[in-house]
Structure 1
Amino acid sequence: TTTPGYSNQYSAIAGGGAAGSGNYGVAYISSWAGDYAQLYFGINSGNYEQPVLGAYITNTTYAYLSMKNGDSFAKKFGGDDGTDPDWFKLTIYGLDSNYQRMNGNYVEFYLADYRFDDPSQDYIVDEWTWVDLSSLGEVSGLEFDLSSSDVGAYGMNTPAYFAMDNLATVPIPGALWLLGSGVSALIFVRRRSDDGGDAYEA
Protein backbone atom coordinates (compact mmCIF):
# COMPACT_ATOMS: atom_id res chain seq x y z
CA THR A 1 0.00 0.00 0.00
CA THR A 2 3.01 2.31 -0.10
CA THR A 3 4.46 1.54 -3.54
CA PRO A 4 3.35 4.11 -6.13
CA GLY A 5 3.00 3.69 -9.86
CA TYR A 6 1.74 1.33 -12.53
CA SER A 7 3.85 -1.60 -11.33
CA ASN A 8 1.56 -1.79 -8.28
CA GLN A 9 -1.71 -1.50 -10.21
CA TYR A 10 -3.42 -4.57 -8.69
CA SER A 11 -3.03 -3.60 -5.02
CA ALA A 12 -5.99 -2.31 -3.00
CA ILE A 13 -5.13 0.64 -0.76
CA ALA A 14 -6.96 -1.11 2.10
CA GLY A 15 -4.14 -3.68 2.18
CA GLY A 16 -6.22 -6.81 1.50
CA GLY A 17 -9.75 -7.98 0.82
CA ALA A 18 -12.87 -6.70 2.57
CA ALA A 19 -13.41 -8.28 6.00
CA GLY A 20 -10.25 -10.32 5.51
CA SER A 21 -11.36 -12.04 2.30
CA GLY A 22 -8.63 -13.77 0.34
CA ASN A 23 -9.59 -12.38 -3.07
CA TYR A 24 -10.84 -9.13 -4.53
CA GLY A 25 -11.21 -7.72 -8.00
CA VAL A 26 -9.42 -4.82 -9.65
CA ALA A 27 -10.96 -3.16 -12.68
CA TYR A 28 -9.06 -1.02 -15.18
CA ILE A 29 -11.29 1.05 -17.44
CA SER A 30 -9.38 1.92 -20.59
CA SER A 31 -10.19 5.01 -22.64
CA TRP A 32 -9.11 2.96 -25.67
CA ALA A 33 -11.83 0.36 -25.07
CA GLY A 34 -15.03 2.36 -24.63
CA ASP A 35 -14.41 4.08 -21.27
CA TYR A 36 -16.36 1.49 -19.30
CA ALA A 37 -16.29 -2.10 -18.06
CA GLN A 38 -19.18 -4.53 -17.76
CA LEU A 39 -19.81 -7.48 -15.44
CA TYR A 40 -22.40 -10.04 -16.62
CA PHE A 41 -24.47 -12.24 -14.29
CA GLY A 42 -25.55 -15.82 -14.85
CA ILE A 43 -23.13 -16.90 -17.56
CA ASN A 44 -22.53 -20.15 -15.69
CA SER A 45 -25.59 -20.40 -13.42
CA GLY A 46 -28.31 -19.32 -15.85
CA ASN A 47 -29.68 -16.79 -13.32
CA TYR A 48 -29.35 -13.80 -15.60
CA GLU A 49 -31.63 -11.21 -13.98
CA GLN A 50 -30.91 -10.75 -10.29
CA PRO A 51 -31.57 -8.08 -7.67
CA VAL A 52 -28.20 -6.65 -6.70
CA LEU A 53 -27.69 -5.61 -3.08
CA GLY A 54 -24.32 -3.89 -3.10
CA ALA A 55 -20.55 -4.31 -3.00
CA TYR A 56 -17.49 -3.15 -1.12
CA ILE A 57 -15.46 -0.60 -3.09
CA THR A 58 -12.11 1.07 -2.50
CA ASN A 59 -9.26 2.70 -4.39
CA THR A 60 -6.28 0.86 -5.74
CA THR A 61 -2.91 1.84 -4.31
CA TYR A 62 -1.89 3.19 -7.72
CA ALA A 63 -4.88 5.54 -7.99
CA TYR A 64 -4.81 6.54 -4.31
CA LEU A 65 -1.15 7.58 -4.23
CA SER A 66 -1.48 9.33 -7.59
CA MET A 67 -4.32 11.47 -6.25
CA LYS A 68 -2.66 12.05 -2.89
CA ASN A 69 0.80 13.01 -4.15
CA GLY A 70 0.49 13.54 -7.90
CA ASP A 71 2.76 11.86 -10.45
CA SER A 72 4.19 12.41 -13.92
CA PHE A 73 0.74 11.99 -15.51
CA ALA A 74 -1.78 13.21 -12.93
CA LYS A 75 -2.09 16.13 -10.54
CA LYS A 76 -2.11 16.11 -6.76
CA PHE A 77 -5.74 16.41 -5.73
CA GLY A 78 -6.48 19.76 -4.14
CA GLY A 79 -3.49 21.34 -5.86
CA ASP A 80 -0.55 22.92 -4.07
CA ASP A 81 -2.73 24.81 -1.60
CA GLY A 82 -5.34 22.07 -1.17
CA THR A 83 -8.27 24.12 -2.46
CA ASP A 84 -8.75 22.78 -6.01
CA PRO A 85 -12.22 21.15 -6.19
CA ASP A 86 -11.01 17.79 -7.50
CA TRP A 87 -13.02 14.58 -7.58
CA PHE A 88 -12.84 10.95 -8.77
CA LYS A 89 -16.18 9.20 -9.29
CA LEU A 90 -17.38 5.67 -9.97
CA THR A 91 -20.80 5.39 -11.65
CA ILE A 92 -22.47 1.97 -11.62
CA TYR A 93 -25.31 1.27 -14.07
CA GLY A 94 -27.68 -1.68 -14.22
CA LEU A 95 -27.74 -3.70 -17.46
CA ASP A 96 -30.91 -5.03 -19.07
CA SER A 97 -31.41 -8.54 -20.51
CA ASN A 98 -29.53 -7.48 -23.66
CA TYR A 99 -26.63 -6.25 -21.53
CA GLN A 100 -27.38 -2.67 -22.46
CA ARG A 101 -27.10 0.22 -20.02
CA MET A 102 -30.37 1.11 -18.30
CA ASN A 103 -30.11 4.90 -18.48
CA GLY A 104 -31.38 6.65 -15.38
CA ASN A 105 -30.73 3.50 -13.36
CA TYR A 106 -27.38 4.15 -11.71
CA VAL A 107 -25.52 4.75 -8.44
CA GLU A 108 -22.64 7.20 -7.99
CA PHE A 109 -19.80 6.71 -5.52
CA TYR A 110 -16.99 9.22 -5.03
CA LEU A 111 -13.62 7.55 -4.64
CA ALA A 112 -12.22 11.01 -3.85
CA ASP A 113 -13.91 14.35 -3.25
CA TYR A 114 -12.20 17.69 -2.68
CA ARG A 115 -15.20 19.92 -3.38
CA PHE A 116 -16.06 20.79 0.22
CA ASP A 117 -16.01 24.39 1.45
CA ASP A 118 -14.12 23.10 4.48
CA PRO A 119 -10.91 21.43 3.17
CA SER A 120 -10.72 19.28 6.30
CA GLN A 121 -13.67 17.30 4.90
CA ASP A 122 -11.85 16.46 1.66
CA TYR A 123 -11.08 12.75 1.30
CA ILE A 124 -9.65 9.96 -0.81
CA VAL A 125 -11.23 6.59 0.02
CA ASP A 126 -8.65 4.34 1.68
CA GLU A 127 -10.79 1.56 3.17
CA TRP A 128 -13.42 -0.86 1.94
CA THR A 129 -16.73 0.99 1.79
CA TRP A 130 -20.13 -0.63 1.30
CA VAL A 131 -21.97 0.83 -1.70
CA ASP A 132 -25.72 0.14 -1.68
CA LEU A 133 -26.87 -0.92 -5.16
CA SER A 134 -30.36 -2.10 -4.23
CA SER A 135 -31.94 0.84 -6.07
CA LEU A 136 -30.83 -0.74 -9.37
CA GLY A 137 -33.43 -3.49 -8.94
CA GLU A 138 -33.23 -6.67 -11.05
CA VAL A 139 -30.39 -6.47 -13.55
CA SER A 140 -28.50 -8.83 -15.86
CA GLY A 141 -25.19 -7.22 -15.07
CA LEU A 142 -23.43 -4.02 -14.12
CA GLU A 143 -21.56 -1.35 -16.04
CA PHE A 144 -18.78 0.62 -14.36
CA ASP A 145 -17.69 4.11 -15.47
CA LEU A 146 -14.93 6.24 -13.96
CA SER A 147 -14.66 10.01 -14.30
CA SER A 148 -12.39 12.64 -12.79
CA SER A 149 -11.88 16.38 -12.58
CA ASP A 150 -8.30 15.82 -13.78
CA VAL A 151 -8.66 15.57 -17.55
CA GLY A 152 -6.10 16.28 -20.26
CA ALA A 153 -5.87 16.26 -24.04
CA TYR A 154 -6.01 12.45 -24.13
CA GLY A 155 -8.72 11.93 -21.53
CA MET A 156 -8.69 11.31 -17.80
CA ASN A 157 -5.30 11.68 -16.11
CA THR A 158 -6.25 9.97 -12.84
CA PRO A 159 -5.40 6.23 -13.05
CA ALA A 160 -8.65 4.55 -14.15
CA TYR A 161 -8.74 1.79 -11.53
CA PHE A 162 -10.93 0.73 -8.63
CA ALA A 163 -11.14 -2.37 -6.43
CA MET A 164 -14.29 -4.33 -5.57
CA ASP A 165 -15.07 -7.18 -3.17
CA ASN A 166 -18.10 -9.17 -1.98
CA LEU A 167 -20.58 -8.14 -4.64
CA ALA A 168 -23.91 -9.38 -3.26
CA THR A 169 -26.88 -10.37 -5.43
CA VAL A 170 -30.00 -12.46 -4.86
CA PRO A 171 -30.44 -15.05 -7.65
CA ILE A 172 -34.02 -15.80 -8.69
CA PRO A 173 -34.86 -18.27 -7.26
CA GLY A 174 -32.23 -18.85 -4.64
CA ALA A 175 -30.48 -17.56 -1.58
CA LEU A 176 -27.97 -14.78 -1.22
CA TRP A 177 -24.99 -15.09 -3.53
CA LEU A 178 -21.76 -13.38 -2.56
CA LEU A 179 -19.49 -12.83 -5.51
CA GLY A 180 -16.33 -12.68 -3.44
CA SER A 181 -13.54 -14.66 -5.03
CA GLY A 182 -15.47 -14.48 -8.29
CA VAL A 183 -14.87 -10.75 -8.47
CA SER A 184 -11.34 -11.62 -9.56
CA ALA A 185 -13.00 -12.23 -12.94
CA LEU A 186 -12.80 -8.48 -13.34
CA ILE A 187 -9.12 -9.02 -14.04
CA PHE A 188 -8.89 -12.45 -15.59
CA VAL A 189 -12.07 -13.08 -17.60
CA ARG A 190 -12.10 -10.23 -20.05
CA ARG A 191 -13.35 -9.85 -23.59
CA ARG A 192 -14.28 -7.02 -25.92
CA SER A 193 -18.01 -6.28 -26.04
CA ASP A 194 -19.80 -5.59 -29.32
CA ASP A 195 -19.65 -1.82 -28.89
CA GLY A 196 -16.01 -1.61 -27.89
CA GLY A 197 -16.08 -1.65 -24.09
CA ASP A 198 -14.51 -4.22 -21.80
CA ALA A 199 -16.87 -6.99 -20.68
CA TYR A 200 -16.33 -9.37 -17.77
CA GLU A 201 -18.27 -12.57 -17.16
CA ALA A 202 -19.37 -13.94 -13.79
Structure 2
Amino acid sequence: MKKLNYLFLLIFLAAFAACSNDDDNSVKANFENMPVTNGYYVNTGGTLQGFYYYSTFQDNDKLLTFDYYLGKWAGATFAGFTYTNSTDTKTGDSPVSVCGKAKIGTMYLVGYSNSYTPTRFKINNPSKYTINGCWISNSVYAYNCMTTNNYSPATKFKSGSYYNVIATGYAADGTTSVGTASIYLAKYSSDSDTPSKDWQWFDLGALAKAVYVQFDVDSSDKGQNGVNTSTNFCLDGITLNQK
Protein backbone atom coordinates (compact mmCIF):
# COMPACT_ATOMS: atom_id res chain seq x y z
CA MET A 1 0.00 0.00 0.00
CA LYS A 2 2.83 2.39 0.87
CA LYS A 3 4.44 1.69 -2.50
CA LEU A 4 1.14 2.36 -4.26
CA ASN A 5 0.64 5.64 -2.42
CA TYR A 6 4.21 6.65 -3.25
CA LEU A 7 3.57 5.88 -6.93
CA PHE A 8 0.42 8.04 -6.94
CA LEU A 9 2.39 10.84 -5.28
CA LEU A 10 5.07 10.71 -7.97
CA ILE A 11 2.44 10.79 -10.73
CA PHE A 12 0.71 13.78 -9.10
CA LEU A 13 3.97 15.69 -8.71
CA ALA A 14 4.96 15.00 -12.30
CA ALA A 15 1.59 16.20 -13.58
CA PHE A 16 1.76 19.31 -11.39
CA ALA A 17 5.25 20.11 -12.65
CA ALA A 18 4.12 19.69 -16.26
CA CYS A 19 1.20 22.06 -15.74
CA SER A 20 3.44 24.55 -13.98
CA ASN A 21 5.92 24.49 -16.84
CA ASP A 22 3.14 25.07 -19.37
CA ASP A 23 1.84 28.02 -17.37
CA ASP A 24 5.33 29.49 -16.99
CA ASN A 25 6.22 29.16 -20.66
CA SER A 26 3.02 30.29 -22.36
CA VAL A 27 0.89 33.44 -22.47
CA LYS A 28 -2.58 34.10 -23.87
CA ALA A 29 -3.85 37.20 -25.64
CA ASN A 30 -6.91 38.64 -23.91
CA PHE A 31 -9.28 41.54 -24.49
CA GLU A 32 -11.16 41.64 -21.19
CA ASN A 33 -12.52 45.09 -20.26
CA MET A 34 -11.38 46.65 -23.53
CA PRO A 35 -13.83 49.20 -25.02
CA VAL A 36 -16.68 48.09 -27.29
CA THR A 37 -19.49 49.86 -29.15
CA ASN A 38 -22.72 47.85 -29.21
CA GLY A 39 -20.72 44.76 -28.34
CA TYR A 40 -17.87 45.19 -30.85
CA TYR A 41 -14.59 47.01 -31.22
CA VAL A 42 -15.16 49.80 -33.75
CA ASN A 43 -12.66 52.30 -35.16
CA THR A 44 -14.06 54.86 -37.59
CA GLY A 45 -10.64 56.37 -38.27
CA GLY A 46 -7.72 54.77 -40.02
CA THR A 47 -5.95 55.18 -43.34
CA LEU A 48 -8.02 54.88 -46.50
CA GLN A 49 -6.92 51.89 -48.60
CA GLY A 50 -9.20 51.49 -51.60
CA PHE A 51 -12.70 50.99 -50.24
CA TYR A 52 -11.61 50.44 -46.63
CA TYR A 53 -10.19 52.42 -43.74
CA TYR A 54 -7.30 50.42 -42.30
CA SER A 55 -6.10 50.49 -38.70
CA THR A 56 -4.80 48.08 -36.07
CA PHE A 57 -5.50 47.14 -32.47
CA GLN A 58 -3.67 45.13 -29.82
CA ASP A 59 -4.59 42.84 -26.95
CA ASN A 60 -4.31 43.97 -23.33
CA ASP A 61 -0.70 42.85 -22.99
CA LYS A 62 0.36 44.05 -26.44
CA LEU A 63 1.48 40.58 -27.46
CA LEU A 64 -0.21 40.78 -30.87
CA THR A 65 -1.26 43.43 -33.38
CA PHE A 66 -4.42 42.76 -35.42
CA ASP A 67 -5.43 44.20 -38.80
CA TYR A 68 -8.81 45.95 -38.79
CA TYR A 69 -10.73 47.30 -41.78
CA LEU A 70 -13.93 49.34 -41.96
CA GLY A 71 -15.68 49.98 -45.27
CA LYS A 72 -16.03 53.62 -46.26
CA TRP A 73 -19.68 53.25 -47.32
CA ALA A 74 -22.64 53.92 -45.00
CA GLY A 75 -23.52 51.00 -42.77
CA ALA A 76 -20.27 49.19 -43.52
CA THR A 77 -19.11 46.44 -41.19
CA PHE A 78 -15.62 45.33 -40.26
CA ALA A 79 -13.17 43.08 -42.09
CA GLY A 80 -9.96 41.51 -40.86
CA PHE A 81 -10.34 41.11 -37.09
CA THR A 82 -12.43 42.71 -34.38
CA TYR A 83 -13.16 41.68 -30.80
CA THR A 84 -16.57 41.27 -29.20
CA ASN A 85 -18.49 40.25 -26.11
CA SER A 86 -21.71 39.68 -28.06
CA THR A 87 -23.76 36.56 -27.34
CA ASP A 88 -26.31 37.18 -30.11
CA THR A 89 -27.01 33.79 -31.66
CA LYS A 90 -30.56 34.67 -32.75
CA THR A 91 -29.66 37.06 -35.59
CA GLY A 92 -29.20 34.75 -38.55
CA ASP A 93 -26.25 36.57 -40.11
CA SER A 94 -24.51 37.38 -36.83
CA PRO A 95 -20.71 37.04 -37.04
CA VAL A 96 -20.40 35.96 -33.39
CA SER A 97 -19.58 32.48 -32.12
CA VAL A 98 -22.24 29.83 -32.64
CA CYS A 99 -21.35 28.71 -29.10
CA GLY A 100 -22.97 31.90 -27.79
CA LYS A 101 -20.03 32.85 -25.58
CA ALA A 102 -16.27 33.11 -25.36
CA LYS A 103 -14.17 30.07 -24.58
CA ILE A 104 -12.24 32.07 -21.95
CA GLY A 105 -13.69 35.08 -20.14
CA THR A 106 -16.20 37.26 -22.01
CA MET A 107 -14.25 38.74 -24.94
CA TYR A 108 -13.11 36.93 -28.07
CA LEU A 109 -12.11 37.65 -31.66
CA VAL A 110 -14.24 37.58 -34.79
CA GLY A 111 -12.53 37.28 -38.15
CA TYR A 112 -13.80 38.01 -41.64
CA SER A 113 -11.67 36.59 -44.42
CA ASN A 114 -11.51 37.84 -48.00
CA SER A 115 -8.85 38.50 -50.62
CA TYR A 116 -8.97 42.29 -50.23
CA THR A 117 -8.66 42.57 -46.44
CA PRO A 118 -6.34 39.90 -44.99
CA THR A 119 -7.38 38.42 -41.65
CA ARG A 120 -3.95 38.69 -40.09
CA PHE A 121 -2.13 39.40 -36.85
CA LYS A 122 1.51 40.08 -36.02
CA ILE A 123 3.53 38.68 -33.12
CA ASN A 124 5.01 41.85 -31.65
CA ASN A 125 8.05 40.22 -30.07
CA PRO A 126 8.98 37.21 -32.24
CA SER A 127 12.43 36.98 -30.66
CA LYS A 128 10.69 36.08 -27.39
CA TYR A 129 7.49 34.27 -28.44
CA THR A 130 6.30 31.69 -30.96
CA ILE A 131 2.73 30.83 -31.85
CA ASN A 132 1.30 27.74 -30.16
CA GLY A 133 -2.39 27.64 -31.06
CA CYS A 134 -5.84 29.05 -30.35
CA TRP A 135 -9.47 28.10 -29.83
CA ILE A 136 -11.68 28.41 -32.91
CA SER A 137 -15.41 28.13 -33.59
CA ASN A 138 -17.90 28.63 -36.36
CA SER A 139 -19.78 31.90 -36.50
CA VAL A 140 -23.57 31.95 -36.35
CA TYR A 141 -23.65 33.24 -39.93
CA ALA A 142 -21.41 30.50 -41.33
CA TYR A 143 -23.32 27.82 -39.41
CA ASN A 144 -26.64 29.02 -40.84
CA CYS A 145 -25.20 29.20 -44.36
CA MET A 146 -24.20 25.55 -44.03
CA THR A 147 -27.46 24.29 -42.52
CA THR A 148 -30.15 26.25 -44.44
CA ASN A 149 -30.84 27.68 -47.88
CA ASN A 150 -31.79 31.09 -46.47
CA TYR A 151 -28.58 32.97 -47.30
CA SER A 152 -28.17 32.98 -51.08
CA PRO A 153 -25.88 32.32 -52.85
CA ALA A 154 -24.80 29.95 -50.04
CA THR A 155 -26.42 26.53 -50.17
CA LYS A 156 -27.12 23.94 -47.50
CA PHE A 157 -24.33 21.42 -47.05
CA LYS A 158 -24.67 17.77 -48.04
CA SER A 159 -22.46 14.70 -48.15
CA GLY A 160 -18.97 15.71 -49.31
CA SER A 161 -19.31 19.35 -48.25
CA TYR A 162 -16.64 20.98 -46.09
CA TYR A 163 -15.64 24.24 -44.41
CA ASN A 164 -11.95 24.63 -43.70
CA VAL A 165 -9.92 27.39 -42.02
CA ILE A 166 -6.28 27.63 -43.11
CA ALA A 167 -3.64 29.47 -41.10
CA THR A 168 -0.45 30.52 -42.88
CA GLY A 169 2.64 31.79 -41.11
CA TYR A 170 4.77 34.48 -42.73
CA ALA A 171 8.29 35.70 -42.01
CA ALA A 172 9.13 39.27 -40.99
CA ASP A 173 8.86 40.45 -44.62
CA GLY A 174 5.16 39.57 -44.52
CA THR A 175 5.28 37.58 -47.76
CA THR A 176 7.55 34.54 -47.25
CA SER A 177 5.50 31.56 -46.07
CA VAL A 178 7.04 29.60 -43.18
CA GLY A 179 4.30 27.03 -42.57
CA THR A 180 0.60 26.23 -42.73
CA ALA A 181 -2.01 24.54 -40.56
CA SER A 182 -5.69 23.89 -41.15
CA ILE A 183 -8.81 22.76 -39.32
CA TYR A 184 -12.24 21.64 -40.50
CA LEU A 185 -15.23 23.33 -38.87
CA ALA A 186 -17.51 21.20 -41.04
CA LYS A 187 -16.80 18.01 -42.95
CA TYR A 188 -19.83 16.08 -44.13
CA SER A 189 -19.62 12.34 -44.79
CA SER A 190 -23.43 12.15 -45.05
CA ASP A 191 -26.33 14.52 -45.70
CA SER A 192 -27.32 14.36 -42.02
CA ASP A 193 -23.99 15.67 -40.66
CA THR A 194 -23.83 19.12 -39.07
CA PRO A 195 -21.08 21.74 -38.61
CA SER A 196 -19.20 22.05 -35.34
CA LYS A 197 -21.00 23.98 -32.58
CA ASP A 198 -18.09 23.84 -30.12
CA TRP A 199 -14.84 25.67 -29.52
CA GLN A 200 -12.05 23.49 -30.95
CA TRP A 201 -8.33 23.71 -30.28
CA PHE A 202 -6.44 24.79 -33.41
CA ASP A 203 -2.82 23.62 -33.21
CA LEU A 204 -0.56 26.21 -34.85
CA GLY A 205 2.74 24.64 -33.85
CA ALA A 206 3.68 24.22 -37.52
CA LEU A 207 3.88 28.03 -37.72
CA ALA A 208 6.55 28.32 -35.01
CA LYS A 209 8.79 30.51 -37.20
CA ALA A 210 6.00 32.95 -38.05
CA VAL A 211 5.99 36.67 -37.35
CA TYR A 212 2.62 37.13 -39.08
CA VAL A 213 -0.28 34.67 -39.00
CA GLN A 214 -3.02 34.93 -41.61
CA PHE A 215 -6.33 33.05 -41.70
CA ASP A 216 -8.21 32.12 -44.87
CA VAL A 217 -11.42 30.16 -45.36
CA ASP A 218 -12.08 27.46 -47.94
CA SER A 219 -15.43 25.81 -48.56
CA SER A 220 -16.89 23.30 -50.98
CA ASP A 221 -19.62 25.87 -51.73
CA LYS A 222 -18.04 28.25 -54.24
CA GLY A 223 -19.30 30.55 -56.97
CA GLN A 224 -17.93 33.10 -59.43
CA ASN A 225 -16.85 35.37 -56.58
CA GLY A 226 -15.24 32.65 -54.47
CA VAL A 227 -16.60 31.05 -51.31
CA ASN A 228 -20.40 31.40 -50.97
CA THR A 229 -20.50 30.38 -47.31
CA SER A 230 -19.90 33.20 -44.84
CA THR A 231 -16.19 33.51 -44.08
CA ASN A 232 -16.74 34.74 -40.52
CA PHE A 233 -15.09 32.62 -37.84
CA CYS A 234 -14.19 33.17 -34.18
CA LEU A 235 -10.96 32.82 -32.18
CA ASP A 236 -10.16 32.87 -28.48
CA GLY A 237 -7.21 32.17 -26.21
CA ILE A 238 -4.47 32.73 -28.79
CA THR A 239 -1.50 31.17 -27.04
CA LEU A 240 2.19 31.99 -27.47
CA ASN A 241 5.11 29.98 -26.15
CA GLN A 242 8.10 31.71 -24.67
CA LYS A 243 11.36 30.69 -26.34
Give TM-score scaled by structure 1 length. Answer: 0.70
Please state whether the residue corresponding to 1:125 is helix, strand or coil: coil
The answer to whether structure 1 residue 30 and structure 2 residue 111 are counterparts is no
Equivalent AA in structure 2 for residue 2 of structure 1: K
The one of 142, 145, 148 aligned to 1:69: 148
Q: Equivalent residues in 2 for 1:83-94 (5 A)?
A: 83=159, 85-94=160-169
**Alpha-carbon distance in structure 1 between the residues aligned to 2:176 and 2:195:** 28
Return structure 1 stretches of 4+ with deviation > 6 angstroms: none
- Give the CA deviation at 1:119: 5.2
TM-score of the aligned structures, taking structure 2 as reference length:
0.58
Q: Aligned equivalents of 2:108 and 2:241: distance in 1?
A: 19
Name the SS of the counterpart of 1:13 in structure 2.
coil
Structure with the larger RCO, 1 or 2 (CA within 8 Å, 6+ apart) = 1
1:95 aligns with 2:170: yes
Please show how residues 3-152 of structure 1 align to structure 2 within 5 Å.
Answer: 3-5=91-93, 8-9=94-95, 11-19=96-104, 21-31=105-115, 33=116, 36-42=118-124, 47-49=125-127, 50-70=129-149, 71-78=151-158, 83=159, 85-102=160-177, 105-114=179-188, 116=189, 122-152=193-223
CA–CA distance in 1 between the matches of 2:173 and 2:103? 31
Q: 1:156 to 1:168 in 2, by over 3 A?
A: same
Contact 2:166/2:180, CA 8 A, preserved across alignment: yes
- Structure 1 alignment gaps of length 5 or more: 173-202
Query: Quick one: which amino acid aligns to residue 18 of structure 1?
Result: K
Q: What is the aligned-residue identity percentage?
A: 27
- Superposition pairs of residues 176-191 of structure 1, within 5 angstroms: none
Task: Quote the offset at 1:72 in angstroms.
Answer: 2.2
| Cα contact 2:109–2:235 (8 A) shared by 1 | yes
Q: How many residues align?
A: 153
